[in-house]
Structure 1
């Protein structure tokens, strides 16, 4: 708890200032106070937590799962062949230059308001950092270590499993910590652009009613969800990549 002390203090100060400014402005439809947002979350807890949050989390988990599989696969393939890397890498970069808000309506046109249009948007946002980070991790192994294993009779498969994968693990977890918040953002954006449920959809609907606190409520829930997910990844990283803490 001590290592989070500074963050807790900064958060308390930030929300305290926000509360004072919001009460001074006294325009809840523009800048609702944190207390009013929490009050609104409590009032709307049933639709928020029983209907819209599960819909957003489902999109987030499926999109992130597919992104991990796609990103890791592309990273491994690029690491195996320099020619393939030169062919694939520019395409991977180009996918990040297309504005999501411009292309997402096309997916809605193709797939309708189904879950797949939202999942594709989430994948487009999240697979890039996984691909790039894992690829860099696989390339981070020292040439001397590879040559040493070769002199001991190690095959390419042995080098990949015993050297490259352990070297890439910290990069993989770093990519996850980047991609998890992005997956939440991607799910919310896709719901904003076209959905029938989800926290993004709920926030957009409340905006049409000029209910500022209700607009902020899903954002607060999504932020806490992302924080929890990143915390879980940190715990897993500390348990799996123990050797990095011992170096």
Structure 2
């Protein structure tokens, strides 16, 4: 592995460890405050009680976490698969941009909580509605970031490529796409965080497994520590997935990561 990739990996590890340390400090302050002020458990349980009640669920907790993770990843990958061709189409044609942008705004103007029950009725109470809700939440910032990156290429670079008789595909792959990498990863970071939100929204509406389902069922039976535990696992899941994208950017595109830190 080259020195640049090693430095990128070390930098990404540092960005992962610092938030983790901050989270541990926050948990310690939380524990001390709850015990010092004798806050009732039904209002704010201590982290130790949350850990105790949540881990008591055993393998069921892992099943709920994996169910949510699967929905998050499916929705996130679907958002990438749809966003890239849309961004290419929008950036290559003004007519396509005028036709597609209003539709993109329309998908974001309708609350996803309102769409989810309709999807359940149309598609059935399975995982597909949850994946689609996750996709609808995540893909918009990704499309915007990709489109912005593809259009941000300096005109002189485009003219140089065309003067060398580059085809549209070569211009896309060798000029526009490499230049847009920082924008793409910025969109990916937003999309993965929003994917966690979308998955939980879908699970609130219709699910038999998942951390969102666990939160609703736990609060229905006044198991507040379990609900807090599921919420903390969701937060950790979002942090880990976000940092994985940071690591991928630092390792495979260190120059793009350096550009974003300027």
Distance 1:224 1:180, change over 3 A: same
From 84, 101, 104, give the equivalent of 2:116: 104
CA positional deviation for 1:42: 1.7
CA RMSD for the aligned pairs? 1.9
Residue 26 of structure 1: aligned partner = 39
State how far apart, in whole Å, the 1-side matches of 2:66 and 2:20 are: 28
**Counterpart for residue 62 of structure 1:** 74
Whole-angstrom distance in 2 between the partners of 1:52 and 1:27: 27
Gaps of 5+ in 1: none
Given that 1:76 and 1:135 are in contact with CA atoms closer than 8 Å, whether structure 2 keeps it comes out as: yes
Asked if 1:137 is matched to 2:149, the reply is yes
Question: What CA deviation, in whole Å up to 9, does each residue of 1:11-70 have, x standing for no partner?
Answer: 344323322332324311221112211222221231111x21121112111111111111
Unaligned runs of 5+ in 2: 1-12
Displacement of 1:122 in angstroms is 0.6
How does 1:4-15 map onto structure 2 within 5 Å? Answer: 7=19, 10-15=22-27
Residue among 112, 132, 136 paired with 1:124 = 136
Q: Distance in 2 between matches of 1:227 and 1:30?
A: 25
1:161-194, CA deviations, whole angstroms, 9 ceiling, x for partnerless residues? 1110101221111111111121111111111111
TM-score scaled to structure 1, two decimals? Answer: 0.92
Q: How far did residue 146 of structure 1 move?
A: 1.0
Relative to structure 1, is the Cα distance of residues 25 and 113 closer, same or farther in structure 2, using a 3 angstrom cutoff?
Answer: farther
Once residues 148 and 76 of structure 1 are traced to their aligned partners in structure 2, the CA distance between those partners, rounded to angstroms, is: 20
Higher relative contact order (CA 8 A, sep 6+): 2
1:156: how far off? Answer: 2.3
The equivalent residue for 1:44 is: 57
Q: Distance in 2 between matches of 1:6 and 1:228?
A: 12
Contact 1:177 1:233 in 2 (8 A): yes
Shift of residue 246 of structure 1?
6.5
Cα distance in 1 for partners of 2:75, 2:167 equals: 35
State how many pairs are aligned.
Answer: 246
Give the direction of change, closer, same or farther, for the CA distance of 1:242–1:9 in structure 2 (3 Å limit).
closer
Deviation per residue, 1:107-164 (Å, 9 max, x gap): 1222222011111111110110111100001001000111122223323222111110
**1:171 alignment counterpart:** 183
* Aligned mates of 2:15, 2:112 — CA distance in 1: 37
What is the SS of the residue equivalent to 2:180?
A: helix
What does residue 205 of structure 2 align with? 193
**Structural mapping, 1:141-156, within 5 Å:** 141-156=153-168
Q: TM-score, normalised by structure 2?
A: 0.87
Q: Secondary structure at the match of 2:199?
A: helix
> Does structure 2 retain, via aligned residues, the 8 Å contact 1:78–1:84?
yes
